[in-house]
């Protein structure tokens, strides 16, 4: 079995040699070995860091690493065969995880270890959080309740996987036909041949059509196709949402929490739902009137330019783009021509090298990657290789998940082996067409910076233990701090110009245009803020004790929240919740607020870079690397922040950055 690529612990996995059959063989062989090894650890109980933390991790490492590879492949090259493997092995993987987290010998041993004086501070932090995780997995429950909890968690995992697959399938199958006579305004790179054209509703295509298509009928068809993903048979998630929420209520009750929101926040920086609401409430007080004024301005502009009646959801993107062009003097599609992806990556890596003292080089030759478009970069400190980074940039509707994300491929581990970290950044931007290079919108640039920020925390870690290197053991609502910090830099005019090189002329972005792009940062900032608050507060409310009231539904709750937070009511056909994978198929259940929580801290950190000299920025960058990136989950996130900033967070920093307060 050593040649099986799923069990090969070489640094760069050989993805091109992986097949569903080899996946099955790897898990079939490694799971029983792991189960026996875990039993052995319990029988030979050694009350030490090595005996209670390192040894159990080694016992289950092989199947968990093979499973992580399988999950990665289902997200980037999804197929029925990979899905079959995921569905088959998920229950066994969950059972092994539950077996470890519900082990009373390990729990009692960790309790004894915590009471002793043999642990370093970072080890004590890991043990404290591991004990909390074990309590939240049901280690202290009587056997009947523990069995019930295990069944609930297994059902939840299966339902979440089905939810995600439904969204992926719905997006793959959704098509909108556009006739030549109604194609005015749609970017040419979407219209190949003479037409009529059949277009998908992946975000890159959808966004371009909603901003530029002159036909309201076309925009409406795209809007309806997009907002009903996961809401139409055979991919309808409506009943799944109810089942998932009910199972989470049962899980919280079994574990002794008031509701799932309390269960979720207990292990996060926030600590409890009320602390989250206390952060969000002042934002809503600022955001609501700003959004209302912005919508009034937009409606007046549309009316003055010939729009009849009220603005519908499929009108706002179009008229917002028109108003933006008039206000700032450029349009997004023209702007793309200044940002070929290769130049953006070059500029991004140059910034990282300057701020954090590393060197990034693209690796040539065979990568053994999962797709031909994937590239790999080696990260050096001086002459020493310290990490690697995969970048998978382009959309592949139907086989690759939507959105953008970062995953760990290899975690830094110098405790049990000499393994350097590798991260992967996946985006969904438009691929190149013909001989023309791939170009990027400003949104795609900001997204790339965001995901690479995650990757820096994973790859620049200096923690040797896999228990807390990179993003391991970092509180969930602190995970976005690094990503949102790096996302701030494209808003600097000089840096933005450095990312540019017109695809035809080779000239950089004009200085005045760069300033206008940056000025647009505050454009409709109120509307953007209240939309994020809607998602965050709806998520918390869905998981709170007061829901559901008799006869209530998740959709009805969403509409009530929208009525309170948004300038206009949610459209009756909007089924956004049915594709809200973050909270129903990701790790953000009762945790979507993490984006705003982290953004508050990241804006505060970035504020120190604004107006700083080059030398000061390098010094600040090294400090960020030594704390936020280097320390991983070896210390509480609040301590890491105070170590970096010398004080507690300023909650108004993000509102100032977005121009919502002085």
- Name beta bridge partners: 200: 175
Q: What is the pLDDT of residues 144-203, one digit of tens each?
A: 999 999 999 999 999 999 999 999 999 999 999 999 999 999 998 899 888 899 999 999
Q: What is the pLDDT of residue 332?
A: 84
Tokens standing for residue 220: 């409406």
Q: What is the pLDDT of residue 104?
A: 98
Q: Tell me: pLDDT of 392 over 80.
A: yes
Q: Tell me: pLDDT of 2 over 80.
A: no
Q: Tell me: pLDDT of 129 over 80.
A: yes
Could you give the domains of the chain? 15-140 (1.20.1050.40), 175-228 (no CATH), 341-490 (3.40.390.10)
Confidence of residue 1 (pLDDT cuts 50, 70, 90): very low
Residue 157 Cα to chain centre, angstroms: 19
Q: Tell me: pLDDT of 543 over 70.
A: yes
In this prediction, residues 67-92 reach a mean pLDDT of 97
Q: What is the pLDDT of residues 289-335, one digit of tens each?
A: 999 999 999 999 999 999 999 999 999 999 999 999 999 999 888 89
In this prediction, residues 393-400 reach a mean pLDDT of 93
Q: What is the pLDDT of residues 232-246, one digit of tens each?
A: 999 999 999 999 999
Which ranges in 329-418 belong to alpha helices (H)?
332-336, 341-356
Tell me the C-alpha distance between 632 and 627, whole Å.
Answer: 8
The percentage of residues in the chain with a pLDDT greater than 70, rounded to a whole number, is 100
Tell me the C-alpha distance between 662 and 648, whole Å.
Answer: 20
How would you write 14-83 as a 3-class SS string?
CHHHCCHHHHHHHHHHHHHHHHHHHHHHHHCCCCCHHHHHHHHHHHHHHHHHHHHHHHHHHHHCCCHHHH
Q: Tell me: pLDDT of 255 over 70.
A: yes
Tell me the C-alpha distance between 474 and 640, whole Å.
Answer: 11
Confidence of residue 612 (pLDDT cuts 50, 70, 90): very high
Q: What is the mean pLDDT of the chain?
A: 97
* Catalytically active residues, by annotation: 451
Residue 215 Cα to chain centre, angstroms: 33
């Amino acid at each position: 079995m050593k040649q099986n690529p799923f069990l090969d612990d070489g640094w760069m996995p050989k993805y091109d040699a992986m097949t569903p059959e080899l996946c099955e063989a790897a898990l079939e062989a490694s799971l029983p070995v792991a189960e026996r090894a875990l039993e052995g650890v319990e029988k030979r109980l050694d009350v030490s860091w090595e005996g209670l933390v390192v040894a159990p991790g080694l016992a289950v490492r092989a199947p968990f690493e093979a499973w992580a590879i399988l999950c990665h492949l289902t997200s980037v090259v999804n197929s029925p065969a990979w899905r079959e493997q995921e569905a088959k092995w998920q229950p066994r993987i969950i059972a092994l995880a539950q077996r470890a987290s519900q082990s009373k010998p390990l729990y009692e041993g960790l309790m004894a270890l915590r009471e002793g004086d043999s642990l370093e501070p970072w080890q004590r932090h890991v043990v404290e959080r591991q004990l909390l995780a074990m309590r939240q997995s049901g280690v202290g429950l009587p056997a009947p309740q523990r069995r019930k909890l295990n069944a609930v968690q297994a059902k939840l995992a299966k339902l979440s996987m089905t939810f995600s697959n439904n969204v992926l399938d719905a997006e793959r199958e959704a098509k909108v036909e556009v006739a030549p006579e109604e194609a005015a305004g749609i970017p040419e790179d979407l219209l190949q041949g003479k037409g009529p054209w059949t277009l998908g509703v992946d975000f890159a295509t959808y966004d371009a059509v909603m901003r530029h298509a002159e036909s309201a009928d076309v925009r409406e068809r795209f809007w309806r196709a997009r907002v009903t993903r996961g809401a139409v048979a055979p991919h309808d998630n409506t009943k799944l949402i109810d089942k998932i929420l009910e199972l989470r209520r049962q899980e919280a009750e079994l574990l002794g929490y008031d509701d799932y929101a309390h269960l979720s926040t207990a292990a996060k920086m926030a600590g409890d739902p009320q602390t989250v609401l206390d952060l969000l409430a002042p934002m809503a007080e600022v955001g609501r009137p700003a959004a209302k004024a912005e919508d009034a301005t937009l409606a007046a502009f549309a009316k003055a330019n010939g729009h009849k009646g009220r603005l519908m959801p499929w009108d706002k993107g179009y008229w917002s783009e028109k108003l933006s062009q008039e206000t700032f003097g450029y349009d997004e599609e023209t702007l793309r021509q200044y940002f070929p992806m290769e130049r953006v990556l070059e500029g991004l890596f140059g910034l990282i090298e300057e701020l954090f003292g590393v060197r990034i080089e693209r690796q040539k030759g065979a990568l053994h990657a999962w797709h031909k478009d994937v590239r790999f970069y080696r990260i050096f400190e001086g002459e020493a290789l310290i990490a690697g980074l995969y970048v998978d940039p382009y959309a592949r509707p139907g086989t690759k998940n939507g959105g953008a994300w970062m995953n760990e491929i290899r975690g830094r581990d110098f405790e049990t082996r000499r393994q350097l970290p590798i991260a992967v950044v996946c985006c969904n931007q438009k691929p190149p067409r013909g001989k023309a290079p791939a170009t990027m919108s400003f949104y795609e640039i900001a997204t790339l910076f965001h995901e690479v920020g995650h990757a820096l925390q994973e790859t620049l870690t200096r923690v040797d233990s896999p228990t807390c290197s990179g993003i391991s053991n970092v509180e969930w609502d602190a995970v976005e701090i690094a990503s949102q910090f790096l996302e701030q830099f494209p808003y600097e005019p000089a840096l933005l110009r450095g990312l540019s090189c017109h695809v035809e002329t080779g000239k950089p972005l004009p200085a005045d245009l760069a300033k206008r792009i940056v000025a647009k940062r505050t454009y409709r900032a109120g509307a953007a803020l209240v939309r994020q608050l809607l998602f965050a507060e709806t998520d918390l409310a869905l998981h709170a004790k007061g829901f559901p009231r008799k006869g209530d539904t998740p959709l009805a709750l969403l509409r009530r929240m929208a009525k309170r937070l948004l300038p206009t009511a949610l459209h009756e056909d909007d089924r956004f919740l049915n594709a809200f994978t973050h909270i129903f198929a990701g790790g953000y259940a009762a945790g979507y607020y993490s984006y705003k929580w982290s953004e508050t801290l990241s804006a505060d950190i970035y504020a120190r870079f604004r107006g700083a000299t080059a030398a000061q920025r390098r010094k600040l960058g090294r400090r960020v690397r030594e704390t936020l990136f280097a320390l991983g989950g070896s210390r509480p996130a609040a301590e890491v922040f105070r170590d970096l900033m010398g004080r507690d967070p300023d909650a108004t920093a993000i509102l100032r950055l977005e121009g919502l307060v002085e």
